[in-house]
Amino acid sequence: MFDLQGKVALVTGGNGGIGLAMARGLADAGARVAVVGRNPVKLLAAVASLGQQGKESQAKAYAVDVCDEAAVSTLMAQLIEDFGRLDILVNNAGINIRKQVQDLSLTEWNAVMDTNLTSAFLCSRTAFPHLKKQGGKVINIGSMTSIFGASFAPAYSASKGGIVQLTRALATAWAADNIQVNAILPGWIDTELTQKARAEVNGLNERILARTPAGRWGKPQDLAGIAVFLSSAASDFITGTAIPVDGGYSVQA
Ligand code: NDP
């Protein structure tokens, strides 16, 4: 039910953090995986680390800015040439610019929206004809800020709220094509993205630990199981959902 052999997955931001952990989960379940990012050093390391599990030939890296419409089209054409098909798209690439809204420039707002939300639209739209051929899965990565406001992250919160609504729109549009579209809402996960905030924001670490019933930060690997589930036949009648993976953070009063 969870077997992904024969499937091909594309993971944006798959060269580090949560994306790489999900890529590893998908590869472990049998999928061939294309990882996408901008940093070539991280891309090489990601493919090598997937290869350490004997899956090097199963993984390939693509240096692409997912905000660039033309580059996304070229990526998809290259991926189909390399792998012959696409079954699973994970829209995971993301950035945050931590500023109060009154201090945020339009350029900064656009950078966050383009990376976190518009890229998911671009990649999903470009993947659609390939997913449609045999049915497929789209997984969008939201956040706790898909649910809660965050004074220090206005564009990030808007983009992650938008991810949930994009998920619902795509799920309803593509259900008849046997494409399931779901969102994962990670809690506070220890990655490059949060390490800086953890170091710089006074008391953040303590607040997260106090609010999370599991009593710890998440690890990128905590996202691997849900990625496999939402990529597999086990979730074929689940679409349009947004599933928190947060150690209970979102249900704590
Ligand atoms: P990382 O900073 O470790 O990963 C972000 C990834 O996105 C990197 O692989 C980066 O690749 C890639 N990326 C960023 N911009 C672009 C771009 N324009 N084109 C291609 N790739 C890009 O952070 P996380 O692993 O923590 O974040 C992954 C996702 O999870 C994000 O969407 C984030 O918002 C979300 N999330 C994270 C949480 C956490 O607590 N860590 C909580 C909730 C959600 P490169 O460096 O090569 O550019």
Is residue 250 included in any domain, yes or no?
no
Q: Is the dihedral of CA 9, 14, 15, 19 positive or negative?
A: negative
pLDDT at 56: 47
38 pLDDT above the threshold of 90: yes
Positions of E strands within the chain: 8-12, 32-37, 59-63, 88-91, 136-141, 179-186, 242-245
Which of 91, 148, 191 most suits a substitution to test ligand 1, by most atoms within 8 Å of the C-beta? 191
Is residue 70 included in any domain, yes or no?
yes
Give the residue numbers spanning the domain of 162: 8-244
30 pLDDT above the threshold of 70: yes
224 pLDDT above the threshold of 80: yes
pLDDT at 52: 61
Count H helices and E strands in the chain, helices first. Answer: 9, 7
Is residue 2 included in any domain, yes or no?
no
DSSP state of 98: -
**Is there a catalytic annotation at residue 156?**
yes
Check residues 201 and 81 and name the one with the higher pLDDT. Answer: 81
The whole-number average pLDDT for the span 48-70 is 84
Is residue 30 included in any domain, yes or no?
yes
Strand-pair category, 32-37 with 8-12? parallel
57 pLDDT above the threshold of 70: no
Is residue 24 included in any domain, yes or no?
yes
SS3 224: helix
Ligand 1 pocket residue status of 247, Cβ below 6 Å:
no
For all residues of the chain together, what is the average pLDDT?
96
The whole-number average pLDDT for the span 180-203 is 94
> How far is ligand 1, taken at its centre, from the CA of residue 13, in Å?
5
Residue nearest ligand 1's atom 41 by CA: 189
Q: Give the C-alpha separation, 229 to 213, whole Å.
A: 24
Q: Give the C-alpha separation, 111 to 97, whole Å.
A: 9
pLDDT at 51: 72
Is residue 1 included in any domain, yes or no?
no
Q: Give the C-alpha separation, 144 to 197, whole Å.
A: 15
117-164 confidence digits (pLDDT tens): 999 999 999 999 999 999 999 999 999 999 999 999 999 999 999 999
Is residue 216 included in any domain, yes or no?
yes
pTM, two decimal places: 0.98
The total of structural domains in the chain comes to 1
- Which residues lie below 8 Å from residue 206, measured CB to CB, with a gap of 6+? none
Instruction: List the catalytic residue out of 109, 128, 156, 188.
Output: 156
Is residue 252 included in any domain, yes or no?
no
Q: Give the C-alpha separation, 209 to 9, whole Å.
A: 33
CATH number for position 185: 3.40.50.720
Confidence band for 53, pLDDT divided at 50, 70 and 90: low
